[in-house]
Amino acid sequence: MQRYEGRIAAVIGGGSGMGRAISHRLASEGAFVYVTDLSAESASKVAAEIVAEGGQATAVTVDATNNDDLRALFAKIDEEKGVLHALHAQVGMPGPGGLDVDDAAWQRNIDVNVKSAYYSTTLGFELLKKAGGKGSVTLTSSTSALIGSPFSPIYSMTKGALVPFGRSLALNGAKDGIRVNVICPGQVKTPMLAQFFGREPGSDVTALAADFVATIPLGRGAEPEEIASVIAFLNSDDASYITGVTIPVDGGLTAQ
């Protein structure tokens, strides 16, 4: 399928894991993808992979918690392409475990999980308006936003903020034909997975991850490509009448 032929996409946090898979998937369907990441090396590697496979992509180093970086990104896209059709906000981090969170860690979690999502999307709205009713935004939240995390309440709080934000942004963008949707993945096999299960020193990450998998009805974690397929659908014309929704992509975890 070439659902993105002639379209421009930006993946904020596209240098690894789910973001990498999303960048590849959108490019494979014809999009020109701006792969952005805090790591210049990671963004460049993913963009090079896409080009080597015959796709179109360019790498941009972006700190998604820095609004000047985000403004510079959208100015670059505007200058080079003049429009943006698909914008995905992937940036996030695991929260510290427990309730004893110092001020610096609290603020860091707010900046990475909430501030980055807010400004990564809202600062791109003017470009999305130029898509002639084809503009779409997706955000990655978490199942912890829906069922709560007893291990990291701050993670549930920060990821939970994206759900009503997505609904509000969808209502705001509707008049300009901009759709906004949120996904809530469960366990996904990415490099960050170990950080979720290794918050406490000496944790047996393998055992903890296996225990979590045992609670998933489908009996396994997701591959990053399975998350990417949902994002590719939501940002395409196949989902043209879907906006303001939150979709668990979790193997049935939240259906229990």
Residues with a catalytic annotation lie at 155
Q: What is the token pair recorded at 244?
A: 């303001």
Q: What is the 3-state secondary structure (H, E, C) of 88-116?
A: EECCCCCCCCCCCCCHHHHHHHHHHHHHH
The CA distance from 157 to 146, in Å, is 10
The H or E element spanning position 138 is strand 136-140
Sheet bearing 246-249, strands edge to edge: 56-61, 32-37, 8-12, 86-89, 136-140, 179-185, 246-249
CA distance 139 to 117: 7
Q: Is 70 exposed, middle or buried (0-12, 13-18, 19+ CB in 10 A)?
A: buried
